[in-house]
Structure 1
Amino acid sequence: MDNFMTHIVSITILAFLLITFLQSGVDKTIDWKGNLSWLKGHFEATFMGAIVPLLLAVILIMEMITAVLCVIGIYQLIVFAQVSVAIWGMFLACLTLLMLLFGQRVAKDYQGALTITCYFIVAIFGLYITGS
């Protein structure tokens, strides 16, 4: 219980990121065609329009790896008070969010970019807290 209380902020942020990326990854897996169709329309007028399937696969892989690292990070913080996997999970969350932000900015979806920024603030704060 001491490890949990010592790392409660990091654990809570990891849980937030886990929910965020696991849900998103599962949704992309279950509704690949729907996501692909929407994204093709979203990026059709950009240089990324022709490679949307590849980009969607990359994001899916990043989201699922991030989710797995968040689960392992929570476990290691609680059981062993080790932060290394938690830091990697939060770092990959930040990288994934930066990729998503780049896409939203290219598509000129500034409201979508703003939403991603909110998630990024949580992830970068978690990275800062856990890495300190």
Structure 2
Amino acid sequence: MIQVAPILLLSLLSITFLQSGYDKIKDWKGNVSWLKGHFSGTIFANTVPLALFIILILEIFSGVLCVSGIIELFSNQTTEVGYYGAILSCITLLFLLFGQRIAKDYDGARTIVIYFIPAIIAVYLLG
């Protein structure tokens, strides 16, 4: 029997990270420019492009693993790839949370936590 809850959670994570990654690629300069202001006066002030690139890679890999996990659930009803996608999603969100806290953007940090909750649930259900 196909597990609906993990598929829905992996779908949420896939959409979140693949769209975010696409946005970073599509408007790289705009993102770098905005983030330089966001992180001015922090330890990331001089490393914004590198930090953004790391986040981009994490988001793309998270999204791809989650999509692959959905395919795996449909094709052979195993959860290994989805499990690793959910774990990487949590790690990615922790990186984002760390950045928001460093920037003292507490509303942004709160938003990250909203995404973290379903990611943790996905890890639990797929583990």
The two structures have a TM-score, normalised by structure 1, of 0.95
Q: What's the counterpart of residue 68 of structure 1?
A: 64
Q: What's the counterpart of residue 111 of structure 2?
A: 115
1:79 corresponds, among 75, 78, 81, to: 75
- 2:12 alignment partner AA: F
Indicate the RMSD between aligned Cα atoms, in angstroms.
Answer: 0.6
Q: What's the counterpart of residue 37 of structure 1?
A: 33
1:88 corresponds, among 84, 89, 92, to: 84
Superimposed CA distance per residue, residues 57-81 of structure 1 (whole angstroms, 9 cap, x where no aligned partner)? 0000000011110111000011101
Aligned residues: 127
The gaps in structure 2 that reach 5 residues or longer are none
Q: What's the counterpart of residue 10 of structure 1?
A: 6
- 2:122 alignment partner AA: G
Percent identity between matched residues is 54
Q: Matched residues in 1 for 2:32 and 2:76: separation?
A: 41
Deviation above 4 Å: which 4+ runs of structure 1?
none
SS at the partner of 2:41? coil
The gaps in structure 1 that reach 5 residues or longer are none
2:51 corresponds, among 55, 72, 85, to: 55
